[in-house]
Structure 1
Amino acid sequence: MSNHTQSIGDRVKLPFQFDVQRIIDEVYQMPMNNFIYYNVIPLRSPAHFVDPSLPTPPSTEDYADGSWTDWLDTQELKSSPYLTEVVDMFKQHTKVTLVRVLRLAAGNIVKEHTDPTLGLEIPKSVIRLTIPIINAPGVEFYLNNEIVPMKPGECWYMRLTDPHRVINNSTEDRINLTIDMIPNDWVQSLIKGS
Protein backbone atom coordinates (compact mmCIF):
# COMPACT_ATOMS: atom_id res chain seq x y z
CA MET A 1 0.00 0.00 0.00
CA SER A 2 1.45 3.36 -1.02
CA ASN A 3 1.95 6.27 1.36
CA HIS A 4 -0.48 8.21 -0.83
CA THR A 5 -3.22 5.66 -0.16
CA GLN A 6 -2.45 5.47 3.56
CA SER A 7 -2.61 9.25 3.93
CA ILE A 8 -6.13 9.39 2.50
CA GLY A 9 -7.65 6.29 4.07
CA ASP A 10 -10.40 4.19 2.62
CA ARG A 11 -13.27 6.62 3.37
CA VAL A 12 -13.58 10.39 3.55
CA LYS A 13 -16.68 12.42 4.39
CA LEU A 14 -16.61 15.51 2.17
CA PRO A 15 -17.70 18.99 3.29
CA PHE A 16 -21.07 18.99 1.50
CA GLN A 17 -24.62 18.59 2.77
CA PHE A 18 -27.39 18.25 0.20
CA ASP A 19 -31.13 18.81 0.60
CA VAL A 20 -32.49 15.28 0.99
CA GLN A 21 -36.17 16.18 0.69
CA ARG A 22 -35.62 17.99 -2.62
CA ILE A 23 -33.73 14.97 -3.96
CA ILE A 24 -36.43 12.55 -2.76
CA ASP A 25 -39.17 14.67 -4.37
CA GLU A 26 -37.33 14.59 -7.70
CA VAL A 27 -36.43 10.90 -7.53
CA TYR A 28 -40.06 9.96 -6.92
CA GLN A 29 -41.04 11.86 -10.09
CA MET A 30 -38.85 9.50 -12.12
CA PRO A 31 -40.14 6.31 -13.70
CA MET A 32 -39.89 3.84 -10.81
CA ASN A 33 -40.19 0.50 -12.55
CA ASN A 34 -40.96 -2.64 -10.62
CA PHE A 35 -37.75 -4.40 -9.74
CA ILE A 36 -36.64 -7.55 -7.97
CA TYR A 37 -33.95 -6.38 -5.58
CA TYR A 38 -31.75 -3.75 -7.25
CA ASN A 39 -32.68 -0.89 -9.55
CA VAL A 40 -30.59 1.70 -11.41
CA ILE A 41 -31.84 5.01 -12.83
CA PRO A 42 -29.16 6.58 -15.06
CA LEU A 43 -28.88 10.37 -14.77
CA ARG A 44 -25.71 10.72 -16.86
CA SER A 45 -24.70 8.03 -19.34
CA PRO A 46 -22.54 7.37 -22.39
CA ALA A 47 -23.72 9.71 -25.15
CA HIS A 48 -24.85 6.95 -27.53
CA PHE A 49 -27.15 5.53 -24.81
CA VAL A 50 -28.81 8.91 -24.30
CA ASP A 51 -29.00 9.79 -28.01
CA PRO A 52 -29.10 6.64 -30.17
CA SER A 53 -28.42 8.74 -33.29
CA LEU A 54 -24.86 9.29 -32.03
CA PRO A 55 -22.22 6.77 -33.11
CA THR A 56 -21.17 3.99 -30.78
CA PRO A 57 -17.58 4.60 -29.67
CA PRO A 58 -14.95 2.22 -31.00
CA SER A 59 -14.19 -0.77 -28.81
CA THR A 60 -11.44 -0.28 -26.27
CA GLU A 61 -9.73 -2.44 -23.70
CA ASP A 62 -9.43 0.47 -21.26
CA TYR A 63 -12.70 1.83 -19.91
CA ALA A 64 -11.19 2.98 -16.63
CA ASP A 65 -10.95 6.74 -16.98
CA GLY A 66 -14.19 7.53 -18.79
CA SER A 67 -12.42 9.02 -21.81
CA TRP A 68 -13.68 6.23 -24.12
CA THR A 69 -16.92 8.15 -24.76
CA ASP A 70 -18.71 11.44 -24.31
CA TRP A 71 -21.19 11.63 -21.45
CA LEU A 72 -24.62 13.27 -21.56
CA ASP A 73 -27.35 14.11 -19.05
CA THR A 74 -30.40 11.85 -19.39
CA GLN A 75 -33.96 13.12 -19.58
CA GLU A 76 -34.43 12.11 -15.91
CA LEU A 77 -31.63 14.49 -14.88
CA LYS A 78 -32.79 17.28 -17.22
CA SER A 79 -36.24 17.04 -15.59
CA SER A 80 -34.77 17.35 -12.07
CA PRO A 81 -33.61 20.92 -11.32
CA TYR A 82 -32.06 20.26 -7.91
CA LEU A 83 -30.25 17.08 -8.99
CA THR A 84 -28.96 19.03 -12.01
CA GLU A 85 -27.68 21.68 -9.61
CA VAL A 86 -25.89 19.02 -7.54
CA VAL A 87 -24.26 17.41 -10.58
CA ASP A 88 -23.38 20.77 -12.14
CA MET A 89 -21.56 21.77 -8.96
CA PHE A 90 -19.07 18.99 -9.68
CA LYS A 91 -19.13 19.48 -13.47
CA GLN A 92 -17.82 23.02 -13.07
CA HIS A 93 -14.64 21.59 -11.49
CA THR A 94 -14.00 18.30 -13.31
CA LYS A 95 -15.34 15.87 -15.89
CA VAL A 96 -18.34 14.00 -14.51
CA THR A 97 -18.98 10.65 -16.14
CA LEU A 98 -21.57 8.16 -14.87
CA VAL A 99 -24.31 9.45 -12.51
CA ARG A 100 -27.01 7.13 -11.17
CA VAL A 101 -29.74 6.72 -8.60
CA LEU A 102 -29.36 3.26 -7.04
CA ARG A 103 -32.15 1.47 -5.17
CA LEU A 104 -31.63 -1.62 -3.03
CA ALA A 105 -34.89 -3.21 -1.93
CA ALA A 106 -35.68 -3.71 1.74
CA GLY A 107 -34.32 -6.99 3.08
CA ASN A 108 -31.73 -7.43 0.34
CA ILE A 109 -27.95 -7.32 0.02
CA VAL A 110 -25.21 -6.40 -2.40
CA LYS A 111 -22.60 -9.13 -2.03
CA GLU A 112 -19.03 -8.21 -1.20
CA HIS A 113 -17.09 -7.13 -4.26
CA THR A 114 -14.44 -4.69 -5.47
CA ASP A 115 -14.52 -2.12 -8.27
CA PRO A 116 -11.00 -2.25 -9.74
CA THR A 117 -11.10 1.22 -11.33
CA LEU A 118 -12.83 3.22 -8.57
CA GLY A 119 -9.96 4.38 -6.38
CA LEU A 120 -7.98 7.59 -6.19
CA GLU A 121 -4.71 5.67 -6.14
CA ILE A 122 -5.38 3.92 -9.49
CA PRO A 123 -3.77 5.60 -12.53
CA LYS A 124 -6.24 6.71 -15.23
CA SER A 125 -9.26 6.00 -13.05
CA VAL A 126 -12.47 7.65 -12.04
CA ILE A 127 -13.70 7.96 -8.48
CA ARG A 128 -17.24 7.60 -7.17
CA LEU A 129 -18.87 9.92 -4.68
CA THR A 130 -21.88 8.58 -2.81
CA ILE A 131 -24.75 10.70 -1.49
CA PRO A 132 -27.22 8.66 0.60
CA ILE A 133 -30.82 9.72 -0.01
CA ILE A 134 -32.84 7.16 1.95
CA ASN A 135 -30.67 5.28 4.43
CA ALA A 136 -32.96 3.96 7.14
CA PRO A 137 -31.77 2.29 10.34
CA GLY A 138 -30.77 -1.25 9.39
CA VAL A 139 -28.91 -0.22 6.22
CA GLU A 140 -25.24 -1.09 6.62
CA PHE A 141 -22.53 -0.25 4.08
CA TYR A 142 -19.33 -2.16 4.87
CA LEU A 143 -15.94 -1.15 3.51
CA ASN A 144 -13.02 -3.36 4.55
CA ASN A 145 -15.40 -5.06 7.02
CA GLU A 146 -16.17 -1.79 8.84
CA ILE A 147 -19.45 0.11 8.62
CA VAL A 148 -19.28 3.50 6.91
CA PRO A 149 -21.64 5.71 8.98
CA MET A 150 -23.24 7.56 6.07
CA LYS A 151 -26.25 9.77 6.75
CA PRO A 152 -28.76 11.13 4.20
CA GLY A 153 -27.55 14.23 2.38
CA GLU A 154 -23.88 13.66 3.18
CA CYS A 155 -21.26 13.12 0.48
CA TRP A 156 -18.60 10.41 0.79
CA TYR A 157 -15.54 9.28 -1.13
CA MET A 158 -14.77 5.61 -0.56
CA ARG A 159 -11.92 3.59 -2.00
CA LEU A 160 -14.10 1.07 -3.80
CA THR A 161 -11.12 -0.90 -5.07
CA ASP A 162 -11.30 -2.37 -1.55
CA PRO A 163 -13.90 -5.01 -0.59
CA HIS A 164 -17.34 -3.55 0.15
CA ARG A 165 -20.89 -4.82 0.58
CA VAL A 166 -24.34 -3.53 1.53
CA ILE A 167 -26.95 -5.08 3.80
CA ASN A 168 -30.43 -3.57 3.84
CA ASN A 169 -32.07 -4.90 7.00
CA SER A 170 -34.56 -2.03 7.02
CA THR A 171 -38.18 -2.07 5.85
CA GLU A 172 -37.49 0.64 3.23
CA ASP A 173 -35.62 0.69 -0.05
CA ARG A 174 -32.14 2.15 0.30
CA ILE A 175 -31.63 4.93 -2.27
CA ASN A 176 -28.25 6.48 -3.07
CA LEU A 177 -27.03 8.99 -5.63
CA THR A 178 -23.61 8.11 -7.08
CA ILE A 179 -21.46 10.53 -9.09
CA ASP A 180 -18.38 9.29 -10.95
CA MET A 181 -15.73 11.83 -11.94
CA ILE A 182 -12.16 12.31 -13.07
CA PRO A 183 -9.98 12.86 -9.98
CA ASN A 184 -8.24 16.06 -11.10
CA ASP A 185 -6.31 18.39 -8.77
CA TRP A 186 -9.53 19.97 -7.43
CA VAL A 187 -11.03 16.57 -6.57
CA GLN A 188 -7.80 15.31 -4.99
CA SER A 189 -7.37 18.42 -2.85
CA LEU A 190 -11.02 18.19 -1.78
CA ILE A 191 -10.57 14.58 -0.62
CA LYS A 192 -7.18 15.10 0.99
CA GLY A 193 -8.37 18.23 2.80
CA SER A 194 -11.53 16.69 4.30
Structure 2
Amino acid sequence: MENITESNLKKIDRVKLPFEFDVEALQKEVAKLAQRDFIYYSVIPLRAPAYQVDSSIPFPPPAEDYADGSWTDWLDTEELTQSPALLSVIDFFRENTTVNLVRLLRLEPGAIVKEHTDPTLALEEEKSMIRLTIPIFNNDQVEFILNDEIVTMKPGECWYLKLNDPHRVNNLGTEERINLTIDVIPNDWIRELISKSV
Protein backbone atom coordinates (compact mmCIF):
# COMPACT_ATOMS: atom_id res chain seq x y z
CA MET A 1 0.00 0.00 0.00
CA GLU A 2 1.67 3.23 -1.16
CA ASN A 3 1.30 6.71 0.29
CA ILE A 4 -0.53 5.50 3.35
CA THR A 5 -1.90 8.42 5.38
CA GLU A 6 -0.97 9.11 8.98
CA SER A 7 -4.57 8.49 10.08
CA ASN A 8 -4.66 5.13 8.31
CA LEU A 9 -1.28 4.18 9.76
CA LYS A 10 -2.68 4.65 13.25
CA LYS A 11 -5.46 2.14 12.54
CA ILE A 12 -3.11 -0.67 11.50
CA ASP A 13 -2.80 -3.24 14.28
CA ARG A 14 -0.04 -5.56 12.97
CA VAL A 15 2.87 -5.20 10.59
CA LYS A 16 5.73 -7.61 9.86
CA LEU A 17 8.79 -5.44 9.37
CA PRO A 18 11.15 -6.12 6.44
CA PHE A 19 14.04 -7.77 8.22
CA GLU A 20 14.81 -10.94 10.11
CA PHE A 21 17.51 -11.65 12.64
CA ASP A 22 19.83 -14.63 13.08
CA VAL A 23 17.48 -16.77 15.14
CA GLU A 24 20.02 -19.56 15.69
CA ALA A 25 22.53 -17.18 17.30
CA LEU A 26 19.77 -15.52 19.34
CA GLN A 27 18.41 -18.87 20.52
CA LYS A 28 21.84 -19.99 21.76
CA GLU A 29 22.25 -16.85 23.86
CA VAL A 30 18.68 -16.80 25.12
CA ALA A 31 18.85 -20.49 26.11
CA LYS A 32 21.79 -19.65 28.40
CA LEU A 33 19.95 -16.71 29.95
CA ALA A 34 16.73 -18.70 30.42
CA GLN A 35 18.20 -21.61 32.36
CA ARG A 36 16.70 -20.63 35.68
CA ASP A 37 13.37 -22.23 36.56
CA PHE A 38 10.17 -20.22 36.52
CA ILE A 39 6.44 -20.73 36.89
CA TYR A 40 3.89 -19.33 34.41
CA TYR A 41 5.63 -16.13 33.28
CA SER A 42 9.11 -14.69 33.58
CA VAL A 43 10.86 -11.52 32.44
CA ILE A 44 14.59 -11.20 31.81
CA PRO A 45 15.44 -7.49 31.56
CA LEU A 46 18.08 -6.63 28.96
CA ARG A 47 17.72 -2.84 29.09
CA ALA A 48 16.17 -1.30 32.17
CA PRO A 49 15.79 1.95 34.13
CA ALA A 50 19.24 3.10 35.18
CA TYR A 51 18.56 2.89 38.93
CA GLN A 52 17.72 -0.82 38.54
CA VAL A 53 21.02 -1.54 36.80
CA ASP A 54 23.35 0.69 38.84
CA SER A 55 22.57 0.98 42.55
CA SER A 56 24.55 4.24 42.78
CA ILE A 57 21.97 5.98 40.57
CA PRO A 58 19.09 7.43 42.60
CA PHE A 59 15.47 6.56 42.00
CA PRO A 60 14.03 9.13 39.57
CA PRO A 61 11.39 11.63 40.69
CA PRO A 62 7.72 10.88 39.90
CA ALA A 63 6.80 11.36 36.26
CA GLU A 64 3.65 12.82 34.75
CA ASP A 65 3.73 10.27 31.94
CA TYR A 66 5.81 7.11 32.15
CA ALA A 67 4.98 6.15 28.55
CA ASP A 68 7.37 8.57 26.88
CA GLY A 69 10.41 6.95 28.49
CA SER A 70 12.03 10.24 29.44
CA TRP A 71 11.28 9.77 33.15
CA THR A 72 14.53 7.85 33.55
CA ASP A 73 17.83 7.05 31.89
CA TRP A 74 18.00 3.54 30.44
CA LEU A 75 21.02 1.23 30.69
CA ASP A 76 21.97 -2.13 29.23
CA THR A 77 21.95 -4.93 31.78
CA GLU A 78 24.82 -7.37 32.26
CA GLU A 79 22.73 -10.03 30.50
CA LEU A 80 22.63 -7.87 27.37
CA THR A 81 26.26 -6.75 27.38
CA GLN A 82 27.37 -10.39 27.58
CA SER A 83 25.15 -11.47 24.66
CA PRO A 84 26.63 -10.22 21.38
CA ALA A 85 23.84 -11.46 19.10
CA LEU A 86 21.15 -9.82 21.22
CA LEU A 87 23.27 -6.68 21.53
CA SER A 88 23.63 -6.45 17.75
CA VAL A 89 19.82 -6.46 17.38
CA ILE A 90 19.43 -3.70 19.97
CA ASP A 91 22.27 -1.68 18.41
CA PHE A 92 20.55 -1.91 15.01
CA PHE A 93 17.50 -0.15 16.45
CA ARG A 94 19.60 2.24 18.56
CA GLU A 95 21.23 3.53 15.37
CA ASN A 96 17.81 4.59 14.08
CA THR A 97 15.61 5.46 17.06
CA THR A 98 15.55 5.75 20.85
CA VAL A 99 15.45 2.39 22.61
CA ASN A 100 14.14 2.22 26.16
CA LEU A 101 12.91 -0.99 27.79
CA VAL A 102 14.15 -4.30 26.34
CA ARG A 103 13.10 -7.67 27.77
CA LEU A 104 12.87 -11.38 27.13
CA LEU A 105 9.30 -12.47 27.90
CA ARG A 106 8.96 -16.15 28.79
CA LEU A 107 5.65 -18.00 28.86
CA GLU A 108 5.59 -21.57 30.16
CA PRO A 109 3.89 -24.44 28.32
CA GLY A 110 0.14 -24.48 28.88
CA ALA A 111 0.06 -20.90 30.18
CA ILE A 112 -2.52 -18.32 29.18
CA VAL A 113 -2.18 -14.53 29.33
CA LYS A 114 -5.68 -13.13 29.67
CA GLU A 115 -6.96 -10.45 27.34
CA HIS A 116 -5.71 -6.99 28.22
CA THR A 117 -4.55 -3.73 26.67
CA ASP A 118 -1.35 -1.73 27.08
CA PRO A 119 -2.73 1.82 26.83
CA THR A 120 0.46 3.60 25.76
CA LEU A 121 1.89 1.07 23.30
CA ALA A 122 0.67 2.33 19.92
CA LEU A 123 1.58 4.89 17.30
CA GLU A 124 -1.40 7.12 17.94
CA GLU A 125 -0.79 7.60 21.65
CA GLU A 126 0.76 10.95 22.53
CA LYS A 127 4.20 10.48 24.10
CA SER A 128 3.87 6.78 23.43
CA MET A 129 6.38 4.05 23.03
CA ILE A 130 5.79 1.24 20.58
CA ARG A 131 6.81 -2.34 21.19
CA LEU A 132 8.65 -4.34 18.56
CA THR A 133 8.39 -8.10 19.02
CA ILE A 134 10.91 -10.67 17.83
CA PRO A 135 9.98 -14.28 18.66
CA ILE A 136 13.03 -16.29 19.74
CA PHE A 137 11.46 -19.60 20.79
CA ASN A 138 7.97 -20.32 19.51
CA ASN A 139 5.88 -23.33 18.56
CA ASP A 140 2.84 -24.02 16.40
CA GLN A 141 0.64 -24.19 19.49
CA VAL A 142 1.29 -20.59 20.55
CA GLU A 143 -1.63 -18.28 19.79
CA PHE A 144 -1.01 -14.54 19.95
CA ILE A 145 -4.46 -13.07 19.47
CA LEU A 146 -4.87 -9.37 18.66
CA ASN A 147 -8.35 -7.96 18.07
CA ASP A 148 -9.69 -11.54 18.05
CA GLU A 149 -7.39 -12.59 15.19
CA ILE A 150 -4.30 -14.77 15.51
CA VAL A 151 -1.00 -13.13 14.56
CA THR A 152 1.35 -15.84 13.30
CA MET A 153 4.89 -14.80 14.14
CA LYS A 154 7.93 -16.93 13.34
CA PRO A 155 11.26 -16.93 15.20
CA GLY A 156 13.60 -14.23 13.94
CA GLU A 157 10.84 -12.08 12.45
CA CYS A 158 10.21 -8.56 13.73
CA TRP A 159 6.67 -7.25 14.27
CA TYR A 160 4.98 -4.00 15.21
CA LEU A 161 1.78 -4.75 17.15
CA LYS A 162 -0.78 -2.15 18.21
CA LEU A 163 -0.94 -3.23 21.83
CA ASN A 164 -3.39 -0.65 23.06
CA ASP A 165 -5.93 -2.91 21.35
CA PRO A 166 -7.17 -6.06 23.15
CA HIS A 167 -4.74 -8.97 22.97
CA ARG A 168 -4.11 -12.29 24.69
CA VAL A 169 -1.72 -15.22 24.45
CA ASN A 170 -2.27 -18.98 24.73
CA ASN A 171 0.75 -21.28 24.88
CA LEU A 172 -0.95 -24.61 24.22
CA GLY A 173 2.33 -26.31 23.34
CA THR A 174 4.80 -28.33 25.38
CA GLU A 175 7.68 -25.84 25.13
CA GLU A 176 8.09 -22.37 26.55
CA ARG A 177 7.63 -19.34 24.34
CA ILE A 178 10.24 -16.58 24.53
CA ASN A 179 9.86 -13.23 22.78
CA LEU A 180 12.37 -10.40 22.63
CA THR A 181 10.50 -7.12 23.06
CA ILE A 182 12.05 -3.74 22.28
CA ASP A 183 10.24 -0.56 23.32
CA VAL A 184 11.18 2.40 21.13
CA ILE A 185 10.01 5.98 20.90
CA PRO A 186 8.31 6.46 17.52
CA ASN A 187 10.14 8.72 15.10
CA ASP A 188 10.05 9.35 11.35
CA TRP A 189 12.27 6.34 10.65
CA ILE A 190 10.02 3.81 12.40
CA ARG A 191 6.83 5.38 11.07
CA GLU A 192 8.13 5.22 7.51
CA LEU A 193 9.32 1.65 8.05
CA ILE A 194 5.91 0.55 9.30
CA SER A 195 4.12 2.44 6.52
CA LYS A 196 6.24 0.82 3.80
CA SER A 197 5.79 -2.64 5.34
CA VAL A 198 1.98 -2.63 5.29
What TM-score results when the alignment is normalised by the length of structure 1? 0.96
Equivalent residue, structure 2, for 1:138: 141
Alignment-mate amino acid for residue 116 of structure 2 = H
Is 1:183 aligned to residue 181 of structure 2?
A: no
Amino acid at match of 1:83: L
Question: Residue 42 in 1 paired to residue 45 in 2?
Answer: yes
Q: Which position in structure 2 is the counterpart of 1:68?
A: 71
Q: Displacement of 1:61 after TM fit?
A: 2.9
Quick one: distance in 1 between partners of 2:91 and 2:154? 22
Match of 1:124 among 122, 127, 132: 127
- Within the candidate set 79, 83, 86, 2:86 is matched to 83
Query: Do the aligned partners of 1:8 and 1:192 also contact (CA within 8 Å) in 2?
Result: no
Structure 1 unaligned residues grouped into runs of 5+ = none
Superposed, 1:88-99 pairs within 5 Å as 88-99=91-102
Output the amino acid matched with 2:33: M
Opposite residue 184 of structure 2, the aligned amino acid is M
Counting only pairs closer than 5 Å after superposition, residues 129-168 of structure 1 correspond to structure 2 as: 129-168=132-171
CA RMSD of aligned residues (A): 1.4
Which runs of structure 1 show a deviation greater than 4 angstroms over 4 or more consecutive aligned residues?
5-8
Determine if contact 1:106/1:169 at 8 Å carries over to the other structure.
yes
How far 1:134 moved relative to its partner?
Answer: 1.1
SS of equivalent to 1:161: coil
Residues 23 and 133, structure 1, Cα contact 8 Å, conserved in 2:
yes
TM-score by length of 2: 0.94
Quote how far apart the aligned CAs of 1:3 are.
6.5
**1:57-77 deviation line (CA, Å, top 9, x unaligned):** 101231011010000000000
The yes-or-no answer on 1:110 pairing with 2:106 is no
Structure 2 unpaired stretches of 5+: none
Count of aligned pairs between the two proteins: 193
